[in-house]
Structure 1
Amino acid sequence: MKEESIKKQLAERPNVVFLIADDHRGEAIGAFGSERLQTPVLDSLVASGTACRNTHIFGALTGAVCAPSRACVHTGIPLFRATIGKDMTNREHSSVIRSDVRLMAQTMREAGYYTHAVGKWHNDKGSLTRSFEGGAKLHFHGMSDHTQVPVFDYDATGKYPKELEYMENTFSTELFTNAAVDFIEEYQEKRPFFLYAAYTAPHDPRTAPEPYASMYNKSDVKLPPNFMPQHPFDTGDMVVRDEKLAGWPREEDEIRQHMADYYAMISHLDAQIGRVVDALKEKGIYDNTLIVYTADHGLAVGQHGLMGKQNLYEHSVRIPLLFRGPGVPEGKQVRALASNIDIFPTVAGLCDVDLPAETEGSSLQPVLTGEITGIRSVVGSVYRDVQRMITDGQWKLIRYYRSPITNAGTERIQLFDLCNDPWETQDLSEDPSHAGTIERLASELVTWMQDCGDILQDKAVLPVTS
């Protein structure tokens, strides 16, 4: 009788298709007002689901923001407690997920879901092995040329010896989509599935295939209001790899070409996601599938004179987060503050799956359904030992440090009014009338850093003026 009850419960749960992109910033979807950016499939998911427009990454202690950010998504736990480094005292290399925490896919697997992984897994192989029962075209690197993609077939032992890695020449976005579509078409089990499909697009090299490569002419691309030839001060990581992708100072024409190429990668990705959606519809399971779309972080591409994601401006820390499927209202966009550690709890809530006790994120489900207006009063982000951020949704404080390791960086703060200055062009930190706001946010930052176990919590707010 108990076994029949479990089978009935599983049968009532939706399938899950969890899609995660690399470098896709929060506003870069046509439905969000990017008129020149063509994303009809993502637009349709926004129209038929709910978009969480104010979701931020927790951050990273390394220039490769991908890996620690994905660890936060997988575990629903702050970076400082989700990962270990190459040893227990080194958190600079935050790719290894602690073996004593359960991941989103692992939790779904334990709840009876068949779990299957496709594409990029920039964390340790052990965490993938305990999470997934199957997989295909697994990419364990941070990036690659999109037409030379080193991949593994799924290995149940979790060993993945280097000699079994092989090269694929199909464009990465199509390669991973092919594997996801094959899984959907071939799936025969009666229990629901959790399909995790992780793309390396729109990460550079931004070399979209035709006709997408020619879809955007740089002469038609409008520079954003916060374009700058160079950043006004040392952020602490000014010569990281990403920042070398364009010349100094930034030239308008070169940045327009980067933006055109970035848009082309996103439009190509959008079309491939459309193939996944079509496969669900052809299988007759679209309406009983929860589709989640997000990214590991955003990207500057010329904004604030920067090119990469190694900063805490909105273009780099705010990500898309779309839900579409059973239990999700249609055509809704919510502005509630959220962190990427809240994604796992939200997926679990929508699937009626119990969370592990160690999970620290909060479910956005009651926000989606309108029961409450928010789950957080503030949200913060970190970058290495040189930047910290806190925002209450209107006001945003960024705290910069000089690194004791590299001696790079600047001891200062910035204050932005996001409601009136969403592009973060006017630093109000030197305006005496905002001293009270700075003091309040500085106190919030101290509390947030202490709560999440930040390694810099003893240096949280000094100085509180720029």
Structure 2
Amino acid sequence: MNKLLTLSIIGLSFLACNKSTSSKTKEEKPNIIFILTDDQRWDALGYAGNDLAHTPEMDKLAKSGVFFKNTIATTPICAASRASIFSGLQERTHNYSFSSKAMKDEYMEYAFPRVLKKSGYYTGLYGKFGVKYKKLDSLYNIHENYDLRYDLKDRTSYYYKTLGNDTVHLTRYTGEKALQFLEKAPTDKPFCLQLSFSAPHASDNTLEQYFWQEENNHVLENVTVPDANISSDEDYNKLPQLVKDGFNRLRWYWRYDTLEKYQHSVKGYYRMLAGIDNEIAKIRSKLEEKGIADNTIIVLMGDNGFFLGERQISGKWLMYDNSLKVPLIIYDPRNKEHKDVEAMALNIDVPSTILDYANIQAPSTWHGKSLKPLVDKESVSLDRDTILIEHLWDFKNIAPSEGVRTKDWKYFRYVDNKSIEELYNLKDDPRETNNLVNNEQYQDILNNLRTKCEDLIEKYKDPYALTINNNKFNGNTFRWHVPEGSQKQTAYQILVASSKENINNNIGDVWNSTKIQSTLKEAKKPSNLKLEQSKTYYWKMRIYDELNRTGSYTSFQEI
């Protein structure tokens, strides 16, 4: 699909959105509060049966609202997940992550806060926006974008904001800003308030890692936290070497490699969640005080999951459910029916759901679906069989991966070595301990999921990605052509392999140039790269655009 056609479709969908909105009944539109936590895994609340979690207010929302038991962050890392939540798109499409210079404008043109604002909602944000984007005024009537301070090496990383004369924890600060918003929000229009807590994210550059408010010292005070599940040496040794060599293992040493660190870190994680829970209680009391509780929908979700020592690792990023699954609660006070929903919900469903509650048609270009029908109706299907899961950040310390998940199965592989594959029967093996990829009994399932993975990768490819053509090797120089346009190449990477199998698996066993910053459309063969004339070699490449977004590899060529 060319860019003009893509923009035309988006524009037409938005016109249809406005037309559809005006034709709907003029019932009172609800207020919406969207609470996004950072690194809260799906079971990190009491309602999920977790005795370590002290989350009475979250539990009340779940008990009186709808709890989605199988919610997936399609990309388990905060930057890309938040980009997906704003844009309604898979990471494969928006191609934004930490190393991107900015979120591409085309993908934020119909960000859900902007659509709400244009449709008459009073919009606000407090906390971690999490995406590099300079036009926040176009999304929000009022906003304050901040996060924990990674440049500070002690508790001040979380304690640097002030209320009056007091320096307070970021969680308290965000809660107070929410109360002020509710106090001052105009009464002649509905509002959508987005609260993005930094907690319970660890303060990575500190010795202690976790900093919580003193009022939450009581949480797990006289409790010995049990060992993490599947955390034996055997479980660790099953991990691919490229994961063992990366940040998942490094951060385990920061947080869990001694009994003392483990107890401190896990308790700190849950104490920081308890701090958010305290603020939710205050917010709900303010809603009652203002007389708007009965018309205010609350959506609570985590941006990605988290490893609390399972497999002897920490962090997120990987395709295991510890990393992918997040809590999602939708509380609509107008709907008195509580239920738990088994169907897979996705982070990219949230924007469509919020617009549905606001009686606004979502842009047709979005990839998610509204979950409101699952809240309102007794039995409804999302017609969702297989979802794409991916973490594509091009960063040497975290292995990128991609795959698919169904209700009962999961398949994934590592982008930089696609021969490393994993296959799990989630129904029989929910902890994902028995990799079936080499089991002859499941080869048909494996091949089917491989095909679905390729199909979804093609379906969700970035229509704005820089293309490469006429890539050739003349015996001494690799050359390629990039069509003229608004975007420019800023870097490239070349792989040379000794076999079709290796090149198809993105293994440059003969030469991997790694990322080279250059606008040139050619690269000299390194002098130490000896290619035997009697052998056939294979090469492919990819380029990076002006926003440092990673392109897809070309098809391979023979040398």
For normalisation by structure 2, the TM-score amounts to 0.69
Alpha-carbon spacing, 1:243–1:211, altered in 2? closer, same or farther (3 Å): farther
Match of 1:66 among 72, 75, 78: 78
Q: For residue 81 of structure 1, what is the aligned residue in structure 2? A: 93
Q: What whole-Å deviation, never above 9, does each CA across 1:350-405 have from its counterpart, x for those lacking one?
A: 221121243221112222223413341012211226311211111111212436xx
Once the 2 structures are TM-superposed, how far is the Cα of residue 288 of structure 1 from its aligned partner? 0.3
TM-score normalised by the chain length of structure 1: 0.82
For residues 43-192 of structure 1, the aligned pairs below 5 Å read 43-59=59-75, 65-83=77-95, 92-93=99-100, 96-99=103-106, 101-136=109-144, 138-139=145-146, 147-148=156-157, 169-192=167-190
Distance 1:94 1:225 in 2: 38
2:74 and 2:337 map into 1 onto residues whose CA distance is: 27
Query: Which of 206, 213, 216 is 2:220 aligned to?
Result: 216
Over the aligned positions, Cα root-mean-square deviation in angstroms equals 3.3
1:160 maps to what in 2?
none
- What code does the residue aligned with 1:197 have? L
Closer, same or farther in 2 for the Cα pair 1:328/1:264, shift >3 Å?
A: same
C-alpha displacement of 1:112: 0.7
Using a 3 Å threshold, how does the CA distance of structure 1 residues 180 and 346 change in structure 2: closer, same or farther? Answer: same
Change beyond 3 A, Cα 1:429–1:301: same
Match for residue 34 of structure 1 among 43, 50, 54: 50
Contact 1:72–1:79 (CA<8 Å) still a contact in 2?
yes
For the residues of structure 1 that align with 2:273 and 2:79, how far apart are their CA atoms?
A: 21
Find the residue that maps to 1:28 and give its secondary structure: coil
Q: Which amino acid aligns with 1:246?
A: W
**Aligned partner letter, 1:398:** F
8 Å Cα contact 1:235-1:400 kept in structure 2: no
Asked if structure 1 preserves the Cα contact closer than 8 Å seen for 2:75 and 2:81, the reply is yes
* SS of residue paired to 1:202: coil
Alignment match, 1:426: 434
Counterpart Cα distance in 2 of 1:351 and 1:337 = 23
1:13 corresponds in structure 2 to 29
* Whole-angstrom CA distance in 1 between matches of 2:62 and 2:90: 28
Asked if structure 2 preserves the Cα contact closer than 8 Å seen for 1:51 and 1:332, the reply is: yes
Q: Among residues 276, 288, 291, which one is paired with 1:284 in the alignment?
A: 291
CA gap of 1:18–1:128, structure 2 versus 1, over 3 A, is: same
CA distance in 1, matches of 2:142, 2:387: 35
- Residue in 2 that maps onto 1:227: 231
Q: How does 1:269-418 map to 2 (within 5 A)?
A: 269-326=276-333, 328=335, 330-368=337-375, 369-384=377-392, 386-402=400-416, 411-418=419-426
Residue 460 of structure 1: CA displacement?
13
1:158 aligns with: none
In 1, Cα distance between the equivalents of 2:435 and 2:314? 20
Change (3 A) 1:388 1:83: closer
Give the aligned residue type for 2:368: G
Query: Aligned equivalents of 1:274 and 1:245: distance in 2?
Result: 33
Instruction: Look up the equivalent residue of 2:86 and give its one-letter code.
Output: H
Aligned ranges 1:184-263 → 2 under 5 Å: 184-205=182-203, 206-217=210-221, 220-229=224-233, 230=236, 232-234=238-240, 236=242, 238=244, 243-247=249-253, 250-251=257-258, 254-263=261-270
Q: Is the Cα–Cα contact under 8 Å of residues 338 and 376 in structure 1 kept in the other structure?
A: no
| Aligned CA distance change for structure 1 residues 29 and 10 (closer, same or farther; 3 Å) | farther
How many residues were matched structurally?
428
Distance 1:81 1:441 in 2: 20
TM-aligned CA deviation for residue 295 of structure 1? 1.6
Cα 1:176–1:152 shift into 2, 3 Å: same
CA contact (8 A) 1:84 1:98 kept: no
Seen in structure 2, the aligned counterparts of structure 1 residues 201 and 140 have a Cα distance that, compared at 3 Å, is: closer
Read off the aligned partner of 2:67 and give its amino acid letter: A
Alpha-carbon distance in structure 2 between the residues aligned to 1:195 and 1:416 = 39
CA, structure 1 residues 354+327, in 2 after alignment: closer, same or farther (shift >3 Å)? Answer: farther
SS in 1 for 2:411: strand
Deviations 1:264-307 (A, max 9, x none): 11112111111111111111111100101112111112112210
CA contact 1:47–1:330 (8 Å) conserved in 2: no
Would the aligned equivalents of 2:160 and 2:167 in 1 still touch at CA under 8 Å?
Answer: no
Aligned mates of 1:390, 1:152 — CA distance in 2: 41
Note if contact 1:387-1:398 (Cα within 8 Å) is conserved in structure 2: yes
Name the CA shift for 1:233/1:401 in 2 (closer, same or farther; >3 Å). Answer: farther
**Alpha-carbon separation, structure 2, partners of 1:262 and 1:268:** 10
Residue 421 of structure 1 and its aligned partner are, at CA, apart by: 2.1
CA 1:462–1:261 in 2, change beyond 3 Å: closer, same or farther? farther
Structure 1 residues 51 and 310: CA distance shift in structure 2, 3 A: same
Instruction: Tell me, yes or no, if the aligned pair for 2:295 and 2:334 is still in contact at 8 Å.
Output: no
Contact 1:380 1:389 (C-alpha < 8 Å) held by counterparts: yes
**8 Å CA contact 1:83, 1:94 repeated in 2:** no
Deviations 1:180-216 (A, max 9, x none): 0111122233100111111000001321122323422
Sequence identity (%) = 23
Larger radius of gyration: 2
CA contact (8 A) 1:338 1:379 kept: no
Closer, same or farther: CA 128–10 of 1 in aligned 2, 3 Å = farther
Contact persistence 1:74–1:103 (CA under 8 A): yes
